[in-house]
Amino acid sequence: MSGVAADATAATSGPAMPGPDAAFFLDLDGTLLEIAARPDAVVVPPELPELLTRLQAALGGAVAVVTGRGLAIARGYAGVPNLPIGAEHGAVLDPALPGATPLPVPSPEWRRAADEWAAARPGTLAEHKTHGLVLHFRQRPEAEPEALALLSSLLKDGPQGFRIVPAHAAAELRPAGADKGGAVHRLMAVAPFQGRRPIFIGDDVTDEDGMAACVEYGGYGLRVPDDFAGRPALVRAWLGRVATSLSRTPGEG
């Protein structure tokens, strides 16, 4: 099969259509958005806000973005004002729900050390979040051992309550109690998610917690590398077909 034919087949296939009782939890980078060389170079497809709005309407609002990004960036990328967002791997939830556990924040010394590390290594980047920090080295993969060593040294000499989480071409320091599964659990306890069958779509090891949480509610996870040929464009195309399918009224075929 030629590359063009394969693309055409993939664009009209994909996972089985979910039922009207589904709820979606969607990662951003590598899932809804193509990975960029730097996290600040991501290009947001102009159709994304309309797609998420359509999907929300088809599922009674049961759609959320759960991402490692900070809240302001995630909300700007999604472009839908009323969309629930679990930012910083669930450490920040908007709209806020009761029962959240106070989480630690990195010290100014940690943030300064991260900035100094990146400044000394062209091609790397220190990303600061409310409850964590990330060292990116996609353009300099040989810096991974040094990134992990720095974060390990910060944990050794600093306050407790943080852990190191590897990701795609990055290493993150974040609160031990923050993961995407926690965001799924909290949202599944309230309307419009409560009682639905959740589906988590992600591309990275950090999404596995969210997928595992969905399984607990009778749902499942979809992995972009396995279920969508590693292409966010195919994820968006499939979600568009889901929205269209679930929006049909009986008798429309």
Segment (H or E) for 148:
helix 144-157
Annotated catalytic residue, options 7, 21, 27, 227: 27
Amino acid letter, residue 119: A
* Helices 48-58 and 71-78, packing angle to 10 deg: 90
Q: Which residue has the tokens 């106070």?
A: 102
Task: Please say if 27 is a catalytic residue.
Answer: yes
Category of 242 on φ-ψ map: left (φ > 0), alpha (ψ -120 to 50) or beta: alpha
The three-state DSSP-derived secondary structure of 172-191 is EEEECCCCHHHHHHHHHCCC
CB 136 within 8 Å of CB 127: yes
Sheet holding 162-167, edge to edge: 125-128, 133-136, 170-175, 162-167
Burial of 250 per CB tally in 10 Å (0-12, 13-18, 19+): exposed
Active site residues: 27
